Structure 1
Amino acid sequence: MQTIWLKTSSTADERARPGPGRDLGPLFAGAATAVAGTGALLALTDSGASPRGPFALFFLLAAPAAAIGLALRGLDPFARVLTALAGAVALDMLIAQGMLAIHRWSWRGGIIAVTVISLLLLLLVLLRPVERILELIHRRAGKTSSS
């Protein structure tokens, strides 16, 4: 009989390592959120500030990409980022095409539509574990009542 040893994940070792650079993930996420929020705010208020264009473009890519990336928990990080960015571009193009098709194009409406759809995707992803928990509760309640 042969004993098979399982390797432990390196993420626990990476989180426990001391020194600079270990807490950069939350810092970058916070900075990206601030830039995206500023871009949406500058675009919706029709500000004449010079970073309005790049920040708004960052918002149009980051908001749907964050929602899609959160839904793809099973992929490795590179595939997750690549798929989330491709999905964000596709979603932005579908919104623009839909608004052009119904002759209701406006840049303000596009930003609002991207915001609403991204929030709905994020909400669906965040509520999914609740549905699984409720499903498990109903299954267990059905097993105990039928026994």
Structure 2
Amino acid sequence: MRTLRINRELSPLLAGAAAAVSTAGALLALTGSNSTLRGPCTLLFLLLAPAAALAAALRGLDPFARALCALAGAVVVDMLVAQVMLAVHHWSVRGGVAAVAVLSPALLLLVHLRDRITGKSTQE
């Protein structure tokens, strides 16, 4: 059985491409475009934005566990946003994407502030 190994020089390129596609998905959803790529790209944004923020918070785990926990946490964040929007009777796709777009950088900011307060460097 062969294992798939991604070249270390290719990883940043793939991460940048995923970020660009997911950002395009968020923009397509927020503008109300009727493009056929809107759904898959928006789904990628809804999974990657919170997962990237949660992965930054889970620095101590090994890479596979970190990715798995971050992805599961991203699904939880998306479900919580949807549940709150349904509970207050203000459900909309644009609102959900905007809420996730606000929560993800806020979580990254909290991680950054935690690291500055505790004195930990991000280069560990």
Quickly name the TM-score band, shorter chain normalised.
0.7 to 0.9
Q: Report the AA paired with residue 46 of structure 1.
A: G
Q: Report the AA paired with residue 36 of structure 1.
A: S
Runs of 4+ in structure 1 over 3 Å off: none
Q: State the Cα distance separating 1:21 from its structure 2 match.
A: 2.6
* 1:103 aligned residue: 89
* 1:74 aligned residue: 60
* 1:30 aligned residue: 16
- Distance, in Å, in 2 between the alignment partners of 1:95 and 1:43 is 16
Unpaired runs of 5+ in structure 2? Answer: 1-5, 120-124
Q: State the Cα distance separating 1:132 from its structure 2 match.
A: 2.1
TM-score by length of 2: 0.87
How much is the aligned-residue C-alpha RMSD, in angstroms? Answer: 1.3
Q: State the Cα distance separating 1:99 from its structure 2 match.
A: 0.5
* 1:40 aligned residue: 26
Q: State the Cα distance separating 1:68 from its structure 2 match.
A: 0.3
Percent identical residues: 63
1:1-40 pair list within 5 angstroms:
21-40=7-26
Highest relative contact order (Cα 8 Å, sep 6+), 1 or 2?
2
Q: Report the AA paired with residue 50 of structure 2.
A: P
Larger-Rg structure: 1
- Distance, in Å, in 2 between the alignment partners of 1:25 and 1:67 is 18
